Every structure is written in C-alpha cells, then in structure tokens.
Amino acid sequence: MPCKLSVNVNAIAYLRNRRHVPWPSVVDLCRVALDNGSVGITVHPRPDERHIRRTDVSDINRLLRAECPGREFNIEGYPDERFLSLCEAEKPEQVTLVPDDPTQGTSDHGWDIAANRELLTGIIARLHMGGMRVSLFVDPDPAAPALARVIGADRVEIYTGPYGGAFTPADVEREFAKVVATGKAAEAAGLGLNAGHDLTRDNLPALVKALPNLQEVSIGHAVVADALMFGMGETVRKFRTAIGDL
C-alpha cells in the first residue's frame, strides 16, 4: 500500500498570526490539500497558541467531518491535561505524542520511553478508551519500536530531522541507515510506521523505497515552502508523486 501524505498546517497558522487578520485561511488551505489527495491534516497545538489555536483544531475537525469522510485528523503534542482534554473533545483518528517542552520552536527529539514508561502507558490507555490511534514520536533508534509496542502504542513516528538536515554524503548515509533500521524494527514489532521532520521531495523517494511499511509522512515546513512557489494544490501532488501515491 503506498505511503500517504498528511499535511501539517502549523506554518500556515504561524504566518496568519503575524497579523491581526484571518488570512491566510488555515481551513481553506486544508481544503485545497485534501482536494488534491492529502490523506489528512496534522496540527501541533502548543500552549501559547503561537501557530495553531484551539479554535483552528475545531474548525479543521469540522471540515474533515463535513466534507472529507475517510480522511484523517492527526493531533500531535505533549500530553499534558490540556492537550489530552482537547483530543478527547475532538476525537481525531490519530494522536501523536511528542516530548516537547512548551518553549521549543519545533520538535527535535523522540521519547525516552524507558524513563517515561509509566506516564506513557497510562496516557495511551486513556486515548485508546476514546477510540483514538496512538503514535509515539521516537528517535531513529532500532530499540525504540519494541519498547513502544510494550506500552501499547499503535504506531511510531520516526523523527527524521537528522536525516533531513544531513547534507554531506557520509552524513546522509549514516542518518538514512538509522531511520531505515528503526522502520524495519517497527515492522518486526508489529507496529505501524510514520515519519516526519525536514522531509522534502528530494529525500523522500529513497526512504519510501527502503521502507515499504512506511504508512504516513507528516510534512509541514517543506510543503508550505514549496506552496509559495507552486501553490498548495500542485505542491501536494508533487509530494504525492515523491512518495509514490500518484
């Protein structure tokens, strides 16, 4: 089954929030992405609402339910009580748990699962009670998927920042090998596999080819950057081509 694209719209909201105006419209651009084949929409609301706001989460959820049956909503974030209550209210198809500090500019590491085992086990069980699939954000470490399986996660999302940020051939080869080994470990553990961070149309094809079990890539920065050149609709189609979904 081809890998699918979920468009992260945080950067769109961040641009809108630079002014006290309602544009660019997050919902309208979500609609364009979905109309052009995105499997769903990803958001990462943070406590200070510097990009995605709680109202955006509700607005996007309404769009998906009313106009796009079968598409998925993925809400990612650090699982404090406010975040968990938001997820329980909106009931996305997937919740991706990330170990972010509220002050971080963006996600930059995966969970230390062993150190947070008790916390994560309870949170995963709570989200499962609400009917939500749970993905755990992990570093490119082949030991992580087995630990994620033990505590009840349905999927892991590999943090691909080091791979996406590698530029010398040696660095690319090293980081690529880590991601692939982790993806294969996820398959061996019986977990679904997602990936995200600094993925582009250039570095995606090799990853998708090496990991036939890769189900979803969540991409925001590169999609929005390319959309400035090509428009959102054409950009989504270009990314779908890069992952073999078009």
Cα separation, 180 vs 188, in Å, equals 12
Structure tokens at 56: 């955006």
- Contact between residue 187 and residue 215 where contact means Cβ atoms under 8 Å apart: no
Residue range 224-235: mean pLDDT, rounded: 98
Backbone angles phi, psi at 72, to 5 degrees: -115, 145
Radius of gyration of the chain from its Cα atoms, rounded to whole angstroms: 17
- 76 as an active site residue: the answer is yes
What is the span of the domain harbouring residue 37? 4-242
Q: Which of 51, 72, 90, 197 is catalytic?
A: 197
Q: What is the mean pLDDT of the chain?
A: 95
| Number of domains comprising the chain | 1
pLDDT band, residue 181 (cuts 50/70/90)? very high
Structure tokens at 233: 């609709």
User: Residue 120: which of 134, 130, 107 has the closest Cα?
Assistant: 134
Q: Which of 72, 76, 90, 216 is catalytic?
A: 76
Cα separation, 158 vs 111, in Å, equals 10
Q: What is the pLDDT of residues 113-134, one digit of tens each?
A: 999 999 999 999 999 999 999 9
Here the CATH number for the domain that contains residue 72 is: 3.20.20.70
Share of the chain above pLDDT 90, in %: 91
* Ordered alpha helix ranges (H), 74-203: 81-90, 117-129, 144-150, 161-164, 169-189
Of the given ranges (98-102, 152-156, 179-183, 184-188), which has the lowest mean pLDDT?
A: 98-102
Beta bridge partners of 130: none
Q: Which of 44, 51, 72, 157 is catalytic?
A: 44
